[in-house]
Chains A and B, each alone.
Chain A
Amino acid sequence: MADDDHAGFRRSQADFDALFRAHYAEIVRYLAARLGSREDAADVAAEVFAAAWHGVPRLRYRGRPVLAWLYRVASNMASDRLRERMREPVPVQEVRGPPVADAAEAIADRDALERAMHRLPADQQLAVHLRLVEGYSFAEVGRLMGRSSGACQMLVLRAGRQLRESLEREGVHVSG
């Protein structure tokens, strides 16, 4: 991580454009996974960076990079957006038909996987995102999430099991 030490933290605080360019894409990817919509993700990412413009210069260094703060804000804003959505009336689409028996079809069915991802608790989603989508090591994931590396490994294990259970409930069997 570029701003993993105190000097890097100060640079991130001082140069908003560099901070934006370095982390905008990963924040959008994270929000798209949480919200299930790239358009919503871009909207909320704009709010995250607007908050960063005001908030980041006032942050105090506590051994964690500015990116950790960005993810926390993004996570909170995603939760707010999801709560707002729950209050909005939405048409319900009923899924009919027999469960899918062939895992190749089912795994290829990204919709089933995305639905399963959305059902994960926020901390598990974030751990999966940081380790597997963005490729941070578990040590880095731990620093970004403010947890131990082992705790993050446990979150990913639980996320994996829960994804499989969700897919099983939709009739998708996953093999290694």
Chain B
Amino acid sequence: MSRADERTAARLLADALDGAEPADADLAATARVLREAAAAARLDIPAAETERALERARSLPGVTRRPRRRIGVAAAGLAAVVALAAAILLALPFASGPVDVEVQARALAALGGHDAILSVVEVVRPGPGESFPASVRNGWIDAAGGRQRWTQSTTGGTVVAETMVDHGRVTRYDPLRHTAVVAASCAALGSGCADAVDPIAFYRRALAAAGPLRTHERTVDGRRVYQVRLPAQRLGASRIVQVATIDAKTLLPVRIAWRELRPGAPAHTFAVIVVRQIARENAAQISPGLLDLALPRGTRITQLAAPGVPVRLLSSRPISLGAARALTPRPWWLGRSYRGNPIGPITLLRYTGGTAVRISYGPTTLWTYGRVIPPSLLASRIPGKTIPVVGGVGRFYMTIGGLLIGERTVATGTVAVEAPANASTYAALGRARPIP
């Protein structure tokens, strides 16, 4: 890679760390590992610990309280003006404010560890001037598994949307129209991430990734709260942000506002989410398939790579086993042979929005893919069942042509098996593993 390419990659990574959509999977992975490393290093140092350390430092030999320098009248006047300006700035909402890493770290800790599964109930209300009806959102967030699943209903109980987010890929089913949209990321949906991603899942991820945030302590209805603003997405000239109100005692979010900021226009709050319940669940007690979304028979499915842009195949080429091994993330396989069938062609398929690797073993085909579902698998989705397999949960779908597809979410994306009969699909899904 040339120096110019390196500089470009460094700048794109910097943008991704600032919240922009990563340019490719490699940058996304690099950004992710950096954020994980930073989250681990974001220690909570309480103010009381700092004060104790200061007392100890003062008692060290040679360190005594130094007399403050005399400040002239003019300088004192200037300092007063500066202090007044600072006070005005602090009083303006989000114009400025103290960076409080401790609040951020404790708020993240309150949501449970990296492997916690959260059950949430939220009421979504329109912001001023918005006309959409209020609704109730009920769902699950699995941060470690990179998955969210929620049901949105009217206040009268009618389900209006079923949504699953799986490693950034969004599947949203509209039961009233019997249609579904599968998007490579929430940014590919015309309505954007604010509509497609659970606000608490977003809040959790942003707390971990955004770096230190300006925190404002307030009293609302006699309750002491903190407020933070989290960057969400750019939509043309506007920026979408999340303003989270956090209970100062429990450090859990109680209210989340989605807000649009346009240059030269006042901030516009378009939705307010009142958090009714957040509960940490034991992952071992969660039933398999709880976070899955099986689309009903006959659902019309559209897949998008970018807003309004359907997924299409850009290229398809055979690659060697060595080349497959060098891919990041590494594709999965069934070994050098499977059920008497030696490993056949390995194909790298590039789509708008993502890639997939296909490995054939006679009648059995193994797929590894990330954000984009290979259209041939998507087209044949007729709901089957969700059952545990070795190392996770498998979802099984029968194709119109009689082949069974077994699909399993893994940490690096999704692995799917196409095979002629139930037993071999189930067995193959359990045997699949990363190429060593």
Which residues of A line the B interface, CB within 8 A? 14-17, 20-21, 24-26, 28-29, 32-33, 38, 42, 45-46, 49-50, 53-54, 57, 101-108, 110, 113-114, 116-117, 128-129, 131-135, 138, 150, 153-154, 156-157, 159-161, 163-164, 167, 173-176
16 A-B pairs (CB sep. < 8 Å): A20-B53, A20-B54, A53-B66, A128-B34, A128-B38, A131-B211, A132-B35, A150-B7, A150-B10, A153-B11, A156-B10, A159-B34, A160-B13, A174-B29, A174-B328, A175-B29
A176 touches B29 (CB 8 A): yes
Instruction: Please report the C-alpha to C-alpha distance between residue A113 and residue B38 in the assembled complex, in whole angstroms.
Output: 10
The answer, among B41, B63, B213, B328, for a CB contact under 8 Å with A173, is B328
A104 touches B33 (CB 8 A): no
Which residues of B line the A interface, CB within 8 A? 6-7, 9-11, 13-14, 17, 22, 25-38, 40-43, 45, 50-51, 53-54, 56-57, 60, 62-63, 66, 68-69, 99, 101-102, 113-115, 144-146, 167-168, 210-213, 328-330, 370, 391, 410-413, 433-434
Extra contacts, 7 of them, besides A54-B62, A108-B113, A176-B22 (Cβ < 8 A), are A21-B54, A104-B144, A113-B33, A116-B37, A134-B101, A150-B10, A160-B30
A133 touches B30 (CB 8 A): no
Residues of A within 8 A of B54 (CB): 17, 20-21, 24
Residues of B within 8 A of A150 (CB): 7, 10-11
Instruction: Please report the C-alpha to C-alpha distance between residue A17 and residue B65 in the assembled complex, in whole angstroms.
Output: 9
Residue of B nearest to A176 (CB): B28
Given A33-B41, A104-B411, A129-B41, A175 contacting B50 (CB threshold 8 A): no
Residues of A within 8 A of B43 (CB): 28-29, 32, 38
A103 touches B27 (CB 8 A): no
B40 touches A157 (CB 8 A): no
Residues of B within 8 A of A42 (CB): 53
Give the distance to chain A from B204, nearest Cβ to Cβ, in Å. 14
The A-B contact count (CB < 8 A) is 180
Residues of B within 8 A of A17 (CB): 54
B145 touches A104 (CB 8 A): yes
Q: Which 9 residue pairs of A and B lie closest in terms of their CB atoms, listed nearest first?
A: A176-B28, A135-B211, A132-B38, A135-B212, A103-B411, A25-B45, A160-B30, A104-B411, A175-B412
B146 touches A104 (CB 8 A): yes
Given A29-B41, A154-B10, A46 contacting B57 (CB threshold 8 A): yes
Instruction: Please report the C-alpha to C-alpha distance between residue A73 and residue B42 in the assembled complex, in whole angstroms.
Output: 21
A156 touches B6 (CB 8 A): no
At the interface, is chain A mostly helix, strand, loop or mixed? helix
A15 touches B210 (CB 8 A): no
Residue of B nearest to A34 (CB): B41
The answer, among A107, A157, A164, for a CB contact under 8 Å with B6, is A157
Residues of B within 8 A of A131 (CB): 17, 211
A156 touches B34 (CB 8 A): yes
A25 touches B211 (CB 8 A): no
Residues of A within 8 A of B114 (CB): 107-108
Instruction: Please report the C-alpha to C-alpha distance between residue A128 and residue B168 in the assembled complex, in whole angstroms.
Output: 25
Given A53-B62, A108-B144, A135-B211, A156 contacting B14 (CB threshold 8 A): yes
A135 touches B210 (CB 8 A): yes
Given A102-B410, A135-B210, A163 contacting B34 (CB threshold 8 A): yes
The answer, among A50, A138, A153, A164, for a CB contact under 8 Å with B30, is A164
A134 touches B212 (CB 8 A): yes
The answer, among A24, A25, A102, A133, for a CB contact under 8 Å with B411, is A102
A24 touches B50 (CB 8 A): yes
Instruction: Please report the C-alpha to C-alpha distance between residue A107 and residue B115 in the assembled complex, in whole angstroms.
Output: 10
Give the distance to chain B from A164, nearest Cβ to Cβ, in Å. 5
Residues of A within 8 A of B168 (CB): 176
Instruction: Please report the C-alpha to C-alpha distance between residue A90 and residue B14 in the assembled complex, in whole angstroms.
Output: 39
Residues of A within 8 A of B31 (CB): 160, 176
B36 touches A50 (CB 8 A): no
